[in-house]
Structure 1
Amino acid sequence: VTIRKAVKKMASIDRMKKDGTFLTLSKKERLQVDRLRAKLEKNLGSISEMTRLPGALFIVDTMREHIAVKEAQKLNIPIFAMVDTNCDPRDVDYLIPSNDDASKSIDIIMTEVTNAVAEGLAERKAEKGDSEGKSDKKDKGAKKKAVADKPAPTPEKVDTKPAPVVDKVPNVEVNVEATKEAVANDTKAEADDLTKVEGIGPKAAEALVAAGIATYEDLSNGDAEKIKEILTEASSRMAHLDPTSWPKQAKMAAEGKWDELKEWQDNVKGGVE
């Protein structure tokens, strides 16, 4: 919540500079605002454009960044970290035994990590390009086939023969209930992004979907105690999560009240009222 407010403050300063309000301040006030903006940019500039929780967190020194570790655990964000002999490995999901004080050690590991991330992004981009290329080829093939199947122009002289007598077409019965059920099943198959509910991380969302709670409507009709049992059975690491407000948030999301949901999330801490 504190970080969200700081990011909002940074955005408000940027708006002040754009609309000219910044120039109406005194010289001393402008200097103070500039210093505050520089400080916020240094600490939060890399995450100011984030619209949702990160999928993972990489930490170099878990002892120094113990607050980040606690926040990640609270929000159920997977933690990758360099773990030294003075650190508790139980707090880290994916640990790398290493010296987190030596600059060379940090440089070697971070180089490998950044290279792996860059390689993964390149592969994802290539796969996306291949899929788009295949779809374009299919579209072109369909167009060519449509042109080939286009009937030849009709001749000027038309052979007018009496139309053959066709027997009465039998009535075709359509099972409306089965059709409705199939449509409903297809709709249910499209799961909502439950991580937009404050307090639900990727692992918690996966556990809920596995238990049959895949949409905002399902979650809004759920019971907090039952949801708690589902999370605890899925992993003991999620036993600390408090799902009391999740049905309330899911109801707002299901009704499309995103502005109201965002305002509510801004006024609470970690989705706990």
Structure 2
Amino acid sequence: MTSEAAHNNSNGLTCLFRPWVDLVSAYATIGDVVTHLNKTREGALTSFQDIFKKAEGLLQEIGSSHDTIPVSRVCKRQTQRANLPFQTAEKYYRRSVCVPFLDHVLTELQTRFGNDTIPVGFKIKNLLSSADGDVAAVLEAAKVYEADIETLSLVKAEAERWYSTTMKFESIGDALAHAQTRMYPNPAKLLRVLITLPVSNAEAERSFLTLKRLKTYLRNTMGQDHLNGLALLGVHNEINIEIDSVINVFAQKNRRLMFV
């Protein structure tokens, strides 16, 4: 995998973790990334050559005394790093770094974004299909959200009418708009569930990650108001802070503060 392809893949995965990205589009993009990484993994013998040549070029640019990337000393009993048979440095790094890294990324993507991780979402996704949609899958998804719909019999009747009168939709938004304007109340409710299912829980954990950086040993005695203010700035870093206003707030307090 070239560095340009890796950069494009990382940008594609980064765009998935946005509030406005729906689950279907995210999983479609992840599927494309997995397909590309699988091809790279299968052709690692040739794809890694370009990466290694660029690395050697960078080695020459920084003025290194080595002609190629050096390999760590190999002994018979190696416990701290890979001890693989190799003839060249390229083969060593391909076997010990490139291939294991690709396998790890593919395994993590399959574990986190496999088809079995959100079975309900994929069943509701059948509403995006054309006339050959699966009514039974929609009913199984409706059972999970039975408290939000009217009755399962109405869901079945509306789903059958849905597949007989509608065509395939490109996005959840198009299907939801069609359901709302063509009087499909129960499919509309299921589509709202699908469009609000999160791709990742990364944003919900931002506050906890920020707290680890703020509540350090040196700041262990700070008050709750101070901690809340720092956490607000850490999570919502797009807030513009006027320095003069902050200074005025501190200046109005009865404290001996030295402003230089």
Q: TM-score, normalised by structure 2?
A: 0.26
Greater strand content: 1
Q: TM-score, normalised by structure 1?
A: 0.25
Structure showing greater Rg: 1
